[in-house]
Amino acid sequence: MSGLVTPHRFDGKVVAVTGAAQGIGLTVATRLAAEGASLILIDRAEIVHEVAKGLRENGTDAHSITADLEQFADAEAAIDEARQQHGRLDVLINNVGGTIWAKPYEHYTAEQIQAEVQRSLFPTLWTCRAVLPHLIAQQSGTIVNVSSVATRGVNRVPYAASKGGVNALTASLALEAAQYGIRVVATAPGGTEAPARRVPRGPGAETDQEKAWYQQIVDQTVDSSLLKRYGTLDEQAAAIVFLASDEATYITGTVLPVAGGDLG
């Protein structure tokens, strides 16, 4: 990774990262490893086991779990297994989600709307619910949710609504959890440059019309950014890891936009 690293910042910390097999989640996991964390990597893609193996070969304590976090039973089982690895869990980073289709709202089917919400809201709802009793019992812990500035964006209304739900969850759960010494925070990434996904989120743009709709997303994202560019994976990971760290112990209930000046 090319981002700045703070050595030993997570020494002695047990951190679970969902959606850790690729993209932002993989970059977050790699940075946490460099900063001393013991990692639990959760993803429904089998390649998460390759990621954990690579980190272990470099000296990191890393355990991998495959789970479909769109289902509460899987989320609960994954969190239980994660906690059993070290007897506790200090940080949960909820990174699962992402636009499946890109098109004006009137072109979505009911099934597609439900699938978008199931992908980008429910995994965070489920894992927060699953981890909360453990953190309450510990009287400590941090949850970092990965939202999006696309709550104000074109051609992905169901995704925007889902991430608006993540923002509301973050604010409301922080109010409830503070009495137990638990922080709940979020970042809201903007457009982010990333390698092609090894496991795609959806069918991708195929027709000329679908490609034009997707290009509208790109154009609006860049135009909304004061810096007029996409961010990098390292820029996204830096904010997530900071909020997860003890450097952010007086921050809770807030969503930090990481989008070059676009506030969403």
**Element spanning 42, H or E:** strand 38-43
pTM score of the predicted model: 0.96
**The predicted structure's pLDDT at residue 245:** 98
Report, as residue numbers or ranges, the catalytic residues. 159
The per-residue DSSP string of 103-123 comes to S-GGG--HHHHHHHHHHHTHH
pLDDT the model gives residue 195 = 87
Contact 230, 221 (CB under 8 A): yes
**Is a pLDDT exceeding 60 seen at residue 67?**
yes
pLDDT reading at 1 higher than 70: no
Q: What is the pLDDT of residues 72-85, one digit of tens each?
A: 999 999 999 999 99
For the chain, percent of residues with pLDDT exceeding 90: 94
Q: What is the β-pairing status of strands 14-18 and 38-43?
A: parallel
What residue has token string 């007086």? Answer: 250
Q: Is the pLDDT of residue 32 over 90?
A: yes
Instruction: Please provide the DSSP assignment of 56-79 as one string.
Output: HHTT--EEEEE--TTSHHHHHHHH
Per the listing, tokens 């991708």 go with: 204
Domains of the chain (ranges, CATH numbers): 14-258 (3.40.50.720)
Joined together, the tokens standing for residue 101 give 């289709």
What is the rounded average pLDDT of the residues 206-219? 94
Residue 197 has pLDDT above 80, yes or no: no
pLDDT value, residue 55: 98
Say how many C-beta atoms besides its own lie within 10 A of residue 118's C-beta.
15
pLDDT in tens, 109-141: 999 999 999 999 999 999 999 999 999 999 999
Written as six digits, the tokens of 2 are 């090319």
Question: With bands split at pLDDT 50, 70 and 90, how would you rate the model's confidence at 2?
Answer: low
